[in-house]
Chains A and B, each alone.
Chain A
Amino acid sequence: DVKVTQSSRYLVKRTGEKVFLECVQDMDHENMFWYRQDPGLGLRLIYFSYDVKMKEKGDIPEGYSVSREKKERFSLILESASTNQTSMYLCASSLGEDTQYFGPGTRLTVL
């Protein structure tokens, strides 16, 4: 079974803090994704990566950056957290164009 893990289920940060969200997958998938999900707005793609040290902007990259130093790990960084970044953050991985498998999600609250 594919397993995607995320470093925290719940996180509370203050405005202006730097926030790191970690995602690890154990199936040697080349593709990894970061989404945020908000009520009424659905899943929105922030960044994705098709290979180590490679990253591509998704639909809403502003205010975020990513890092993929190892194939199994994809990190999302909020350089200076703001209240409008309060959301559910979901990491996913896939092999090629096939099914994306999601981690459990991190519910981030920025105060």
Chain B
Amino acid sequence: QKEVEQNSGPLSVPEGAIASLNCTYSDRVSQSFFWYRQYSGKSPELIMSIYSNGDKEDGRFTAQLNKASQYVSLLIRDSQPSDSATYLCAVNFAMDSSYKLIFGSGTRLLVRP
């Protein structure tokens, strides 16, 4: 059973703080990892993709991947109220001759003004 686990939250942080969102997955051979943001009533939108161990930065967002420990995280620096949303972690798992993207259930982030 391929699994992607996230804490459902809500994670509440004050405006300007660093929000840290974590995700663990069950398959060591997974090669690609994604973070999506989903506002209430809207569809998921891609924030970051990461493929190699280490950190990947894009503006206020940093994705961190540790394949040995099977976790991927998303840091949001200088959090803004507009960052309040549900963040979905997604992992591509190898399935026979193809791949399947499996989503975690999401972590709800609340940034307090």
Q: Report which A residues bind B (CB closer than 8 A).
A: 40-43, 45, 50, 90, 94, 97-105, 107
Contacts and interface: CB of A to CB of B under 8 A. Distances in A.
Interface of B: 31-32, 34, 36, 41-46, 49, 88, 90, 92, 98-101, 103-106
A90 B43 contact: yes
A97 B92 contact: yes
A99 B106 contact: no
A97 B44 contact: no
Contacts of B106: 42
Nearest to A101: B46
Contacts of A100: 34, 90, 101
A74 B63 CA distance: 32
Nearest to A56: B98
B49 A104 contact: no
A99 B43 contact: no
Contacts, number: 38
Contacts of B44: 43, 90, 102
Contacts of A43: 44, 88, 103
B105 A98 contact: no
Nearest to B31: A97
6 closest Cβ pairs, A-B complex: A42-B105, A102-B43, A97-B99, A43-B103, A105-B43, A102-B44
B38 to A, nearest CB: 9
Contacts of A90: 43-44
Contacts of B90: 100
A104 B104 contact: no
A88 to B, nearest CB: 8
A50 B31 CA distance: 19
A84 B108 CA distance: 25
